[in-house]
Amino acid sequence: MDRFDAIPETALAWHREGKGAVLATVIETWGSAPRRVGSQLAISGQAEIAGSVSGGCVEGAVIVEALEAIEAGEARELEFGVSDQDAFAVGLACGGTIRVLVEPIGSVLPEAMLADLVAARAGREAVAYVADLDSGARQLVRDGFEDRFRMDRSGFEEDSRTFVAIHNPPLRVMIVGAVHIAQALVPMARIAGYDPVIIDPRETFGSEARFPGEKILNDWPDEAVEAEGLDGRSALVLLTHDPKLDDPALEVAMRSKCFYIGALGSTRTHAKRVARLEEKGFTADQIARICGPVGLDIGASGPSEIAVAILAQMTQVLRKGA
């Protein structure tokens, strides 16, 4: 949970400390806005804040409304429209409009529901918070909204007043093979929002010196992948070229819900890989989940460009599907 913003967690803690708390959520934007729909700001009854919904005096106005909402025990919908001329001063860089939903904890957003949301986030479980702004009904939904979960896209359902806030686990990539490509891929993946895990039983390769500050597992890949767990927000990239290391991890991945599986190797190498997996009884659909040769065909040359191709393909599969 290291890459979570911890805003719902902070609001829950403030509420349980007796301070009172509000969650303010960007529910709609027009024009240019620095924070996307679904961005949140937690505000305590003592005017402490965590997160942001825009910047400048937009935050200040939201805090004032939030403190009043705690006293009144009611939700509020706020709208801020800023012209290009005045936009910079309030954090709307090129002008635009944002709408913000203010929900006091307890009176509007039930404490038990927020606790369930926090628990789901801690357990790497994707969950949607659904608010009917006409009826006032709130619920957590784990099934449905497939496109929204894949795209990390909060927003209103079409032609309705039902707002869906998507809470996805942080993205994670497990890289089997601490080779030169991995050294290029790890920092790129971090920039793109992934938590990398490097797996290589060869301590000479998988070392702190080669990957400073990163999580390194010097275990057999299948055991490490099994222990870490591959969920729907996980990608697996295999870079060893060694069937003894790659194949067992592939077998774990094909039975998992991970969104991406990529394996290094030429077309001929991948054909041999497919044949081995077929002999072990894996179906054509399972094997088709493997992107091999790994990465988009951009004519990559050298470890860094191959890493770019891999990250681009991971993004494509995550956002557009296999």
What tens digit of pLDDT does each residue of 47-95 get?
999 998 886 658 888 999 999 999 999 999 999 876 544 444 555 555 5
CATH of 171-320, one of 3.10.105.10, 3.40.920.10, 3.40.50.720, 3.50.50.60: 3.40.50.720
Structural domain boundaries in the chain:
7-167, 171-320
The DSSP string of 129-146 is EEEETTT--EEEE-SS-H
Question: Smallest Cα–Cα separation from 279: which of 321, 247, 239?
Answer: 247
Distances (CA, A) of 5 to 11, 14, 257: 12, 15, 24
First vs last C-alpha separation in the chain: 26
| CA 232 – CA 127 distance, rounded (Å) | 12
The set of residues, in sequence order, having a beta carbon less than 8 Å from that of 294 and lying 6+ positions away, is: 237, 238, 239, 262, 263, 264, 265, 306, 309, 310, 313
Amino acid making up residue 237: V
Q: Which helix (H) or strand (E) holds 222?
A: helix 221-228
What tens digit of pLDDT does each residue of 235-251 get?
999 999 899 999 999 99
pLDDT per residue of the chain (322 residues) written in tens, 0 to 9: 344 578 999 999 999 999 999 999 999 988 766 678 999 999 999 999 999 888 665 888 899 999 999 999 999 999 987 654 444 455 555 557 889 999 999 999 999 999 999 999 988 899 999 999 999 999 999 989 988 998 889 999 998 899 999 999 889 999 999 999 999 999 999 999 899 999 999 999 999 999 999 999 999 999 999 999 998 899 999 999 899 999 999 999 999 999 999 999 999 999 999 999 999 999 999 999 999 999 999 999 999 999 999 999 999 999 888 7
